[in-house]
Amino acid sequence: MYKNYSALESPEWIRKAVIYELHLRAFNENGFTGLAEKIGYFKQLGVNVLWIMPFGLVGEQKRIGKHGDPYAIRDYYSIDPSFGTAEELKAMINEAHANGIRVIMDWVMNRGSVDHILTETHPEYFTRNENDEVYYEVPNRDYFAGLNFDHPDLRRYIKKAMSYWFAEFQFDGFRLDDSDITPSAFLTEIRNELGQNGREFVLISQSYDEYHHVDSCDLTYDGSLRLMIKAVAEGALSQKDVIKIYHSYTYSFPRGSLRMRWLEEKELSRVAEYLGPKLAKPAATLLLTVEGVPFLMMGQEFNERTFNTWKSLFDDYQLDWTPFDQELFEHYRFLIRLRTEHAAFWNGELIFIKNNQDKVLSYIRKSKDEEFLVMVSFSEDPLVLEFEEKNIADRITGAAKQVVYRSGGANPGNEHHAPDWRMEPYESLIYRIQ
């Protein structure tokens, strides 16, 4: 794939994006209006793309919980009035755009609720079981009705609905839920349809399919960091293993493919719960300084503890903002700004620098104008690093090394590090190399 294919060209803004996923009811009490009032929070954090989880009317039949699964949409053109009006949604998006923040709509790709409005008027649009009942091919989802993409009129209906939200509300793109089981040709049809509007947009594919990069989607998922960090911290993966795995993802995809990297997503536990709270900060450093486009799940940046996968949203639920981990928030805030303000991180080369400690990853992020050295420790013990490649070590050691960031240490930019490359437990160190 890497040798023979190139990824489609994506807008520059998605390359320098840090994406933040949220659900309206969980994030604030006042729907679209409340979210518009929170734009200042996102600016302070530094995120520049909001991903809004589904806000349409949820089906009643076979509903689980008070509110049901937000992905069991009953009408693709609907807005749940508990979130506000169409005009309030437009005002929220306009406020985000006025502050340099793009907005992505979460699109339920392969299904509707089992009582979707089209099940009566167009039953042929839905998949059916041996009893001629609408069903969804994913187990334990009785409240869903799967879409029959073999029907050309259904495809036209979906494309028209997506074009409505794109043009009428000025969304900047779509995150395509469960796109790994959507016909690839239909994803290309969607891209071509939206492209007729003449405005930049992105499609985010919830898949690990390398072919989606060729002619339909801008980003695919990559959840490998979460797994690798745990394995490194437990001693199950060596530094050499990590480098090999990281490169395997790069070279099995088309050239220039953008992977959306994450530590948390809606179907998994919180990263601090999975890795342990001490690993949350070095994990964030890795997420925000490697290649790809990082995304954060709502509350991840301040160690929110109560969100328990998207099933929390089936009933009344709001994020617990107290206690608020200010130290972790500032860690994310600094790294997000470093990433978005320096092309070395969002558009530069990544070069691993091998060292003598398997629980420390060290690498250079380099653009034509600047160069940074990143060192991240996943060890509970203090360590002293030595670099294996002497010519690289000499170049780094002999350079004027400005400490850009030191997690839990001195103020950024005001010191030079001791020449023995000592690292404290779970520490992150970032240098600008002159």
Three-state SS at 40: helix
Q: What is the pLDDT of residue 411?
A: 44
How many residues are recorded in the chain? 434
**Using H for helix, E for strand and C for coil, what is the string for 159-178?**
HHHHHHHHHHHCCCEEEEEC
Residue closest to 54 by CA, chosen among 179, 220, 189, 177: 177
Cα-flanking dihedrals φ and ψ of residue 154, to 5°?
Answer: -65, -45
What is the residue-wise DSSP string for 210-245?
TTHHHHT-SEEEE-HHHHHHHHHHTTSS-HHHHHHH
Strands (E), 53-163: 102-108, 111-113, 144-146
Q: Can you read off the two tokens belonging to residue 344?
A: 């070395």
Confidence at residue 398, expressed as pLDDT on a 0 to 100 scale: 56
Show the tokens assigned to 395: 């170049």
- What residues contact 232, with CB distance under 8 A and at least 6 apart? 239, 242, 358, 359, 361, 378
Nearest by Cα to 233 from 269, 304, 273, 283: 283
pLDDT in the model for residue 408: 58
What is the residue-level pLDDT of the chain in tens, covering all 434 positions?
999 999 999 999 999 999 999 999 999 999 999 999 999 999 999 999 999 999 999 999 999 999 999 999 999 999 999 999 999 999 999 999 999 999 999 999 999 999 999 999 999 999 998 888 888 988 888 999 999 999 999 999 999 999 999 999 999 999 999 999 999 999 999 999 999 999 999 999 999 999 999 999 999 999 999 999 999 999 999 999 999 999 999 999 999 999 999 999 999 999 999 999 999 999 999 999 999 999 999 999 999 999 999 999 999 999 999 999 999 999 999 999 999 999 999 999 999 999 999 999 999 999 999 999 999 999 999 999 888 776 666 666 655 567 899 985 444 444 444 456 789 999 999 988 87
Q: Give Cβ neighbours of residue 261 (< 8 Å, ≥ 6 apart).
A: 222, 223, 224, 225, 287, 290, 292, 293, 294, 295
Dihedral (C-alpha) 338, 341, 344, 350: value to the nearest 10 degrees? 40
pLDDT value, residue 410: 43
- Alpha carbons within 13 angstroms on the beta-carbon side of residue 121 total 7
In angstroms, rounded to a whole number, what is the distance separating the alpha carbons of residues 217 and 179? 10
CA distances from 163 to 96, 160, 196 (A): 20, 5, 9
Both structure tokens of 172: 């900047």
pLDDT at 422: 86
373, exposed or middle or buried, with CB in 10 Å at 0-12, 13-18, 19+?
A: buried
- Determine the pLDDT at residue 413: 44
pLDDT at position 64: 96
Task: Tell me how far CA of residue 21 lies from CA of 9, 75, 151, 212, 384, in angstroms.
Answer: 24, 22, 32, 22, 38
Three-class DSSP category at 147: strand
Please list the alpha-helical segments (H only) found in 349-419.
390-398
Q: What is the distance between the terminal CA atoms of the chain, rounded to a whole angstrom?
A: 36
Rounded distance between C-alpha atoms, residue 359 and residue 233, angstroms: 6
Give the residues across from 67 on adjacent strands.
none
With beta carbons less than 8 A apart as the criterion, state whether 344 and 289 touch.
no
Question: pLDDT (tens digit, 9 = 90+) per residue, 75-108?
Answer: 999 999 999 999 999 999 999 999 999 999 999 9
Among 51, 48, 34, 53, residue whose Cα is nearest residue 92: 34
Return the percentage of the chain with pLDDT > 90, whole number. 88
Residue type for position 78: S
